[in-house]
Amino acid sequence: MKLSENAKQLLEARYLLKNTEGKIIESPEELFGRVAKYVASVETKDRKKWENKFYDLLANLHFLPNSPTLMNAGLPNGQLSACFVLPVEDSLDSIFTTLKDMAMIHQSGGGTGYNFSQLRPHGDIVSSSGGVSSGPMAFIKIYDTATEHVRQGGKRRGANMGILNVDHPDIEEFILSKSEGNILQNFNLSVGITDDFMQAVESGGDWKLINPRTKKVAEIIKASKLWDQIVSQAWATGDPGLIFLDTINKYNPVPELGRIQSTNPCGEVPLFEYESCNLGSINLSKMVKLDGDRVEVDWRILENTVSVAVRFLDNVISANHYLLPQIEQETKSNRKIGLGIMGWAEMLALLNISYASEEAVLLGEKLMEFVQEKSYEASEELVNERGEFPNWEKSIFYPNKPMRNATCNSIAPTGSISVIADTSYSIEPLYALAYKRVGILENQIQMEVNPVFVGKMQELGFWTDEVKQEVLATGSIQQLKHIPKEVRSVFETSLEIPWEYHLQHQRAFQKYTDNAVSKTINLSKNTSKATISDIYMTAWKYGLKGITIYRDGSKANQVLQACHLNKSANC
């Protein structure tokens, strides 16, 4: 097993077991062994065989599960899920019960999502006390402050998704809430959007804000006014994103259980209240083979990886320690898993395909169709051994398709596990050919020069001091005219790729992902508000389940920064 220096640094800081003095008492091999052994412990026969298969999957960096599984598997009361959705009902009891549950989940390494739309608006009457309500934003701020003080498993900061529906009377306050500098640092905010609202924006129509307590119209405003506020704020701060609730519910696999109102912190898993989800990602940069001197997709190894990974994730549901009985009940009733991918940009580079090309988009669609098909086959196969998920008869699969899991696929952002696997994030393009990663490990700065890029340049005879200096200074090779255009186009970075291609990739992968796709459309500093409006509108028309944009430099503390590793003044 070959790990990069950045991977080792991250594993030592967060994942490897430490004794009471804080001394590391586990190697990376032992970490993978611990996880494989524990996840295989629920197997009733051939336990050792599956333990070995799981170990190979992890040690070869072909697949990695979400961080809580790597951190906690095999520990007493190990909580292994990354994603949770909790209810927030219109009572002080519910609000503060959920706050306590959130603290426990964050302490165990999980992240939480909530929809605050049931809460009565600011200034509304509270009959029990004769006072007035402080509204959703007041409670979101309380949740944010609590998160600040409860670190995730003592190892990373807690993450939250806060959603407010677009017809809530406090929606304008919600949209504008991040305009005051550094508040709500522990929340991603998204507006819960309906098709009716989008149509009202298109037609220039009016929009009704409805008091959730009385169900009466509180105010009528122009839909375009709200839209402009959303777009302006996203341009200025990166928040809010949009969650398309009607699209999510159109594809809800268990519609009899009601409407889904919320997602996990990064939006890739729409969940019912008290549901949790276990995620893992296949490293596509390892799913290629040499055929003569040509690199191509290795479909056979990909199929085998999918099959073993689905079993691994289903085992996690059974092996997990649940913090609340409601979470165990909901999670085991639907057995949702989210197998996704990382290293997509690196796979494309290895195949000499430009991210900003029709060829890449078509391959993305074909590849995800294959992953979903093989995931479903693996889930169906598990039924023979273990039976369908308990709510199967209430699902869209009944009666024709036996399934062990209500969902099989999610495209997560793969923040930490991409670093461990030393590959590119999720389905994102390369952020830069060299960049600084700030804040993933407290105040340590990690330098990253993309290894696939360096290998390609060496192979083509272009890896000179001049090229190296240019990449360290700018993170790009687009200025270097002596490198052929077709080579440069393969290594276009996130901000050099037109937004249209970012969205087309998200649509291609969403088409065959039963949960959702977490993707950030990275935009250059000089992007206009009109462009952001186009992106958000196009995302809805494409049938995406959510959309987030980030304009370079619009947050003070940015995790990825285009690299000026030579300490130039711009850094």
Q: Which residues participate in catalysis according to the annotation?
A: 264, 266, 268
Sole residue written with tokens 């090779």? 477
Coil vs helix vs strand at 113: strand
Token pair recorded at residue 499: 């937004």
What are φ and ψ of residue 439, in 5° steps? 90, -5
Question: What ranges in 320-357 are assigned the alpha helix state H?
Answer: 325-334, 344-350
How many CB atoms sit inside 10 A of residue 263's CB?
30
C-alpha distance across the termini of the chain, in Å: 34
Residue 110: DSSP 8-state: -
Spatial separation of the C-alpha atoms in residues 509 and 363, rounded to whole Å: 10
SS (H, E, C) 234-249: HHHHCCCEEEEHHHHH
- Residue 11 CA: distances (Å) to CA of 8, 32, 59, 77, 441: 5, 11, 13, 21, 10
**What angle is formed at CA 344 by the lines to CA 340 and CA 350, rounded to 5 degrees?**
145
Residue 257: DSSP 8-state: G
291 exposed, middle or buried (CB, 10 Å; 0-12, 13-18, 19+)? Answer: exposed
Sole residue written with tokens 């052994």? 37
Nearest to 88 by CA among 111, 112, 53, 61: 112
Answer for the pair 239, 233: CB distance below 8 angstroms, yes or no.
yes
Identify any residues that bridge with 207 across adjacent strands, giving them in sequence order.
221
Nearest to 548 by CA among 520, 525, 517: 520
How many H helices and E strands in the chain?
20, 21
Residue positions counted in the chain = 571
Identify any residues that bridge with 522 across adjacent strands, giving them in sequence order.
550
SS (H, E, C) 384-395: HHHCCCCCHHHC
Answer for the pair 271, 87: CB distance below 8 angstroms, yes or no.
no
Answer for the pair 498, 361: CB distance below 8 angstroms, yes or no.
no
Spatial separation of the C-alpha atoms in residues 417 and 436, rounded to whole Å: 17
